[in-house]
Amino acid sequence: MTVQRIHPSILSADFVNLERELERIRTADFVHVDVMDNHFVPNLTMGPPIVERIQAVSPIPLDVHLMISDADRWAPGYAELGAASVTFHAEAAQDPVALARRLREIGAMAGIALKPGTDPEPYLELLPEFDMVLVMTVEPGFGGQSFMPDMMPKLGRLAEARAKHGIELRLQVDGGISASTIGVAAEAGADTFVAGSAVYGGVPEDRIAELRAVAAAH
Ligand code: DX5
Ligand code: ZN
C-alpha cells in the first residue's frame, strides 16, 4: 500500500506567529517551507536565518521548497541546517545530479521540482538520483491559486518511470491541493501532498485529517 503524506505549507500561516502555527499542524508528516527570492519567482519570502529558527522549533521535519535561482550555491546550506528534505527547481541548478548528490551526502533527501511548463522527459533516466520529484500544479510564487488538472499526465509519466526503475521515489504535488483536488492527484500517482490555503483556511488538524481520508480513498 502506498504511504501518503500531507505537507502543510506555512506560506499560508501567520508569519508573525510561526511557532504557534507549527504547533497547529502537529499531525502533519512534514512542514513545507517555501523559499522565494523575487528572482526565480515574482515573490519574496524567507532565507536561511528564518528557516534555521523554524528547524529549531518545529516538532515535525522540514520539506524545504527552494524557488530561487542559483540553487547550487544555496541549497546545501538548508541541508546543513537540518532540513529533512531539500527541493530545487530543475532550471535553477547547473548540474541537478551533482547537487542532489551533495544534498544526500549532507544527509537530506534531494528533490527536483518541475514547473508546469517543464518537460519531465530529460529527468526520467535520472530519477534514481533523487528522493522526490515535485510536480507543480500551479505556477510557483503564490498560495491560493487554482489546481491545474492538466499536470496529471506528467505525474502519470513519472509514476510509470518510477515503476520501471523499481525505486522508492516520492511524487509530490504542490498548488491548489484541497479535499476536492487531492483525489485526482492521488489517482495520477502522487503520494506526497502540499496544501497551504486548504490547511490554514480552517482548523488545520481537521483539514489534514480530511485530506488524508480523501487521498486514502483513491
Ligand atoms: C506556491 C508554493 C506552494 C503554496 C501552495 O508557489 O510552492 O507551496 O504554498 O499553496 P496552496 O495550497 O494555497 O495552493
Ligand atoms: Zn511549495
Question: How large is the ipTM?
Answer: 0.99
Judged against a pLDDT cut of 80, whether residue 74 lies above it is answered with yes
pLDDT given at position 94: 98
- Tell me which residues have their CB closer than 6 angstroms to ligand 1: 9, 11-12, 32, 34, 65, 138, 140-145, 174-177, 194-198
The pTM of the full predicted model, rounded to 2 decimals, is 0.98
Q: How far is the centre of ligand 2, averaged over its atoms, from the C-alpha of 59 (Å)?
A: 19
Q: How far apart are CA 25 and CA 60, in angstroms?
A: 9
**pLDDT at residue 1 in the model:** 65
Say which CATH number the domain at 62 has.
3.20.20.70
Q: How many domains does the chain have?
A: 1
pLDDT classification of 106: cutoffs 50, 70, 90:
very high
Q: Please indicate whether residue 191 is annotated as part of the active site.
A: no
Nearest-CA residue for ligand 1 atom 4 is 143
Q: What is the pLDDT of residue 2?
A: 82
Which structural domain range is residue 59 located in? 5-216
d(CA 78, CA 51): 8
Among residues 34, 63, 131, 191, which one is catalytic? 34
